[in-house]
Every structure is written in C-alpha cells, then in structure tokens.
Chain A
Amino acid sequence: DIQMTQSPSSLSASEGDRVTISCRASQSIARYLNWYYQKPGKAPKLLIHTASSLQSGVPSRFSGSGSGTDFTLTITSLQAEDFATYYCQQSHSYPFTFGPGTKVDVK
C-alpha cells in the first residue's frame, strides 16, 4: 500500500499569510494527488485534483503542484474561512490512502 505523509502536522498563521503544506507519497503516484479541506463538523471539500487542477468553485488563492512523490498545496493569502484541516489523498492505486492531515489555526 502507498503511505502518505504530510508536513507540518499543524501550523499557526494569520490572515493574509502565504501558507504551504507538503505531502509525500511512499512511491511514485504520478499526478494522482488530491487535496481536501475540512472544517469541524463538516464533510471534506475537494480543493485540488490531479495535483494541480483547481476544483470548480474553489478560489484561485489555492494552488497545487508536484508529481511523482512530492506535492505542495499553497494558499497565497489566507482568509478567515481557510482555517481548517487539510488532507492529501493519492488516487493512483487502491487503497486510496489519505495523509494524516495538517491543521491550520489562528496565530
């Protein structure tokens, strides 16, 4: 099975900050990497699919990059509604494992 790791596990930031979250796969997954965010008590929401494709309706301050084993989610100017937990997920091969999550909270 492919293992996914994320760093950092948590970070504190302020509105307007540029935030970067990393995700690493234990083996190459080409560009089959998706990013989600989740707020407490809510279902996850897809932000980015296939490494860098912005999901419909998602603000352009979110972007994704990477291929192979190393991927990055960037939020260019953090907004109040972006404080949440972010997960990466590989969809290259079953089981479609998720990363452990990165919690972004208020500094």
Chain B
Amino acid sequence: EVQLLESGGGLEQPGGSLRLSCAASGFTFGTFAMSWVRQAPGKGLEWVSSVSSGGDSTYYADSVQGRFTISRDNSKNTLYLQMNSLRVEDTALYYCAKVIYYASSGYSDWGQGTLVTVPS
C-alpha cells in the first residue's frame, strides 16, 4: 500500500523559511516523479512543484519560482520542499503526490497534507 506522510509545516513569519518533508513507502520511490500541490483555506488546488524520478529535473509554479526548492533523497524515500522568503499567500495545506506511471499521468496517491501558516 502506498503511503505518503508529510511533515514540517507550522507557523512561520513572513520572510521566514520552512522545510517540508514527505516520507514515502509501499512503492519503489526512486522510479516515480513526485510533486507538491497546495490548497489555501477554502480555495482550490494549486500545483506547486515537481521533480523527476532521479531528481535531476525540477519544475515550479511562477508563484514560488526562486523561493522554493524541491528535492528528493531516493536512499531515504523522502521528498522535500524548501520554502524560503515565505509570504502570507503561501498559507495553505501542502500535499505531496505521486504520479501513476510517468510524469504526466496524473496523481494517483496523495498524502494527508501538512499545514503552513504565514500570518499577516
């Protein structure tokens, strides 16, 4: 059974940093692209970032480009999101998600999310 467990969220002041983690199990982590998707309170889903299976290719939403860094450690079956220069608008529940097969095949598995709050 695929399991994705996010952690690292919390309350951080504007301009601060947080590092989110997503511990994966139940599948061969190093063979699947992974992504972060966020959802602001009461709002829709927003794709944030993706990383290839080997970690060599990364992609970002314009809203986080230059501030967030996605990475992965395949030896630890863990996905990361380093979030710097946090803004009020980064407040959201952050999900990690696994693709079905290849990078553009949709997200078949999601974690329960970790909440990031950046107060105004």
Contact = CB atoms under 8 A, between A and B. Distances in A.
* B contact residues, range: 20 to 34
Interface in B65-116: 95, 100, 103-108, 110-113
A38 B60 CA distance: 23
Interface in A51-107: 55, 85, 87, 89, 91-92, 94-101
A92 B59 CA distance: 13
Give the contact-size bracket for chain A: 20 to 34
A25 to B, nearest CB: 14
B11 interface: no
Interface of A: 1, 32, 34, 36, 38, 43-46, 49-50, 55, 85, 87, 89, 91-92, 94-101
12 contacts: A34-B107, A46-B100, A46-B108, A49-B108, A55-B100, A85-B44, A89-B47, A95-B47, A95-B60, A96-B47, A98-B46, A101-B45
Decide if the interface of chain A is mainly helix, strand, loop or mixed.
loop
Given A43-B113, A87-B45, A98-B46, A55 B108 contact: yes
Contact of B104 (A45, A91, A97, A101): A91
Given A43-B113, A96-B35, A36 B45 contact: yes
A18 B103 CA distance: 32
B20 to A, nearest CB: 15
Given A36-B45, A49-B100, A87-B45, A94 B59 contact: yes
B21 interface: no
B56 interface: no
Given A87-B45, A96-B47, A98-B44, A49 B110 contact: no
